Structure 1
Amino acid sequence: MPINNPENKQENSKCGFVAIVGAPNAGKSTLMNALVGQKISIVSQKIQTTRFPVRGIIMQDNAQIIFIDTPGVFNPKQRLDRAMVASVWTGARDADLIVHVVDAGLAQKFGKSGLPKGEEKALEDIERTEAGIKSQNKNTLLLLNKIDTVPKHELLDLAQSFAQKEIYKEILFVSALQEDGLEELKQCLGKYLPESPFLYPEDQASDIPLRLMAAEITREKVFHRLHDELPYNANVETDNWKELKDGSVRIDQTLYVGREGHKAIAIGKNGQTLKWISSQARHELMRELEREVHLFLHVKVKDNWQEDSRHYTARGLDYKA
């Protein structure tokens, strides 16, 4: 939770929330991690990997910028999908500034035929009065990401096609993966934030609970290994977190899948797949926590886990969305 600490108040200080929105796989999580300088959101080639708003915090001169990495904008069908998309616009309504991230390489491929459906969907929702965004005159910035994949002259044409929508305060160009243009982005964000004392300690990089962070790291490894074989609705929960006397931590987790066949895939021949996932997750957790980690990962079949409200409340999602 934010800490409104008087000691954090500085003369002429600024602080505010920046919602990062856009279509799936636009590079939002990669951007968040690059801006913060450490792993905050999981990254996967599987679309809709981010499932709930994740906050990353940075200092830029006299400004504390609190980023909200939101799930991708898409047409929701199932309960989890609806909750994810609802969280996008909740985050946008509550933010001081909105950054619409677009995959410049994907958008450029459509040329004069129009924008990709995901971007049209994002634009429509950003413009919706009922979302409380346009009516509040919020500052919205367009961020063309992955500019290393598009010739410069074509980037200008692409920027112009978005500028015609007349909803963006500024248009910026970055490559989150190459960390190109990030300083310019941070400076631009800082100037639009309201004057305010800092809400978090200056050395804090995120407010995600450790148990949830651990589950997300393991889920990322699952998708890295099994992105073609395992459905997107697989889930990881941290069941137990025990601090040990020697300073290490024991973490027990469950990977939930929908079918017995998916369980067999997740475990692999002689348990090799599950061992790989556990090993990769454990090593990353050790780097993040800076101590020894004992990770125990199990696989269970639970075809209706998306109907369990506990999975939603733990992630700040609205079960009834």
Structure 2
Amino acid sequence: MAAYSWRGAVLLRTVSRLWQPGPDVAREWMIRLPSLLGCQRRCVSCVAGPAFSGPRLASASRPNGQNSALDCFLGLSQPDNSLPFRVPAVSVHRDEQDLLLVHRPDMPENPRVLRVVLLGAPNAGKSTLSNQLLGRKVFPVSRKVHTTRSQALGVITEKETQVILLDTPGLISPAKQKRHHLELSLLEDPWKSMESADLVVVLVDVSDKWTRNQLSPQLLRCLTQFSQVPSILVMNKVDCLKQKSVLLELTAALTEGVVNGKKLKMRQALHSQPGPHRPSPAAQGPDVQPVRDPQRMGWPHFQEIFMLSALSQEDVKTLKQYLLAQAQPGPWEFHSEVLTSQTPEEICANMIREKLLEYLPKEVPYNIQQKTEVWDEGPSGELVIEQKLLVPKESHMKILIGPKGYLIAQIAQEVGRDLMNIFLCEVQLRLSVKLLK
């Protein structure tokens, strides 16, 4: 009986955390809680034990009926269109996450699917937009460039529709990749993603006056090579513009005055000169390579234009509804309980790296190595993580620790909060710093 009480307490803590996304979500789980508590013997592995096996997945739900709480917890239930949209959490166990990724999708009768690739310059806001579309932060976000180091996958499942988001690294040139000794994934992943794309979302940071009035040569080359893939333009960070009239000029330049095969009726904007928006000398350096027409600045084949702030839920909701509407009949690729293809350890490492990029100056965060020492369940059911941060210089070590250990403690606290919102469980994160020998 004591074991059941303890497990019930863990579940109650989980449900209480579900109130954060909204009372409707929490209310849904509170209604299902009695049946969930009644089948603890079958689903204890989901809460605190080792990974469940295939046969248990196949048979566990039958005694409880279709769409039982156990089914939902194991990720077996069929989508119920009468329930409000719920953003799934990520499992803290890698083997459970791996099993869910390969599990047969719980498709409705008329499934629809869309694979979306997000392209843009470094720091255009692709990861921020992806997180907002998903409804939960699973991708790292930083004001520094190259926060996303490789392709990351997110899944939106609503009713009969599944949208797969491919958040790619910012497009860079081979010369820049070689000069700064960057990972090859930053150069290759955006191109690989295009091979399976149904739709391309081109993101432009309109707050950057040096780059906003033209698409990069690398981006134009990518769009040209995969011209058969439909594309839309998303002008991000419009909330940062003091003069909204600038958007007319930018729209004319980035689309070459053509959207969905029709010329835009903006004569003044079409005839305006770039003026103060001309790219900086740095942007016109050796990395710039022509794409057929060296004068080309935009892409005249966008189907739609969206002007938004990736931080605005209302703005993102409009884009999300458009993506859901673009989905075509076809089989789902993932179970409805899948939110991302990343392992829990990868998510944790990325969230820590996000804070390192945010708080540490210049090149310091890029030279830090991360090593997970402990990933286990604590005595009260919480997730205990211990990660060691290896730094190459003693001066970097002092910067990272901060006065009286304040900075490293703050990073651990903030990452811990992010992880609790991802895993929907208590997280105890401990960070230590060691000099790399």
> Is the pair's TM-score, using the shorter chain for normalization, greater than 0.5?
yes
Residue in 1 aligned with 2:48? none
Residue in 2 aligned with 1:295? 429
Match of 2:408 among 254, 274, 277: 274
Higher relative contact order (CA 8 A, sep 6+): 1
For 1:110 and 1:44, how far apart are their aligned partners in 2?
19
For 2:435 and 2:104, how far apart are their aligned partners in 1?
45
Match of 1:66 among 147, 164, 189: 164
1:285 is the counterpart of 2:419: yes
Residue in 2 aligned with 1:212? 346
Aligned-partner residue type, residue 285 of structure 1: L
Quote the offset at 1:208 in angstroms. Answer: 1.5
| Contact 1:4/1:198, CA 8 A, preserved across alignment | no
| Contact 1:9/1:198, CA 8 A, preserved across alignment | no
For 1:207 and 1:178, how far apart are their aligned partners in 2?
25
1:105 is the counterpart of 2:204: no
What are the within-5 Å matches in structure 2 for residues 90-169 of structure 1? Answer: 90-107=192-209, 115=214, 119-129=215-225, 133-134=226-227, 137-150=228-241, 151-164=243-256, 165-169=299-303
Assess, with a 3 A threshold, how the Cα gap between structure 1 residues 59 and 37 changes in structure 2: closer, same or farther: same
For 1:128 and 1:38, how far apart are their aligned partners in 2?
33
1:83 is the counterpart of 2:185: yes
For 2:102 and 2:109, how far apart are their aligned partners in 1?
15
| Contact 1:64/1:198, CA 8 A, preserved across alignment | yes
SS of 1:19's equivalent in the other structure is strand
For 1:301 and 1:89, how far apart are their aligned partners in 2?
37
Assess, with a 3 A threshold, how the Cα gap between structure 1 residues 125 and 301 changes in structure 2: closer, same or farther: farther
TM-score by length of 2: 0.60
What are the within-5 Å matches in structure 2 for residues 222-241 of structure 1? Answer: 222-228=356-362, 230-241=364-375
Aligned-partner residue type, residue 146 of structure 1: K
Residue in 1 aligned with 2:104? 5
| Contact 1:99/1:142, CA 8 A, preserved across alignment | yes
What are the within-5 Å matches in structure 2 for residues 162-177 of structure 1? Answer: 162-164=254-256, 165-177=299-311
For 1:126 and 1:86, how far apart are their aligned partners in 2?
11
Match of 1:30 among 128, 136, 151: 128
CA RMSD after TM alignment: 2.5
Higher deviation after alignment, 43-52 or 2-11? 2-11
Residue in 2 aligned with 1:55? 153
Assess, with a 3 A threshold, how the Cα gap between structure 1 residues 176 and 302 changes in structure 2: closer, same or farther: same
Structure 1 unpaired stretches of 5+: 304-321
SS of 1:294's equivalent in the other structure is strand
| Contact 2:137/2:418, CA 8 A, preserved across alignment | no
Quote the offset at 1:110 in angstroms. Answer: 6.2
Residue in 1 aligned with 2:51? none
Quote the offset at 1:5 in angstroms. Answer: 2.7
Residue in 2 aligned with 1:311? none
SS of 1:7's equivalent in the other structure is coil
SS of 1:252's equivalent in the other structure is strand
Assess, with a 3 A threshold, how the Cα gap between structure 1 residues 257 and 96 changes in structure 2: closer, same or farther: farther
Residue in 2 aligned with 1:179? 313
For 1:202 and 1:23, how far apart are their aligned partners in 2?
31
Quote the offset at 1:206 in angstroms. Answer: 1.9
Residue in 1 aligned with 2:285? none
Structure 2 unpaired stretches of 5+: 1-97, 257-298
Quote the offset at 1:67 in angstroms. Answer: 0.7
TM-score by length of 1: 0.80
For 2:319 and 2:177, how far apart are their aligned partners in 1?
30
Q: Deviations over 1:21-70 (max 9, x none)?
A: 10111111111111111111111111111112222221355321111111
Aligned length: 291
Aligned-partner residue type, residue 249 of structure 2: D
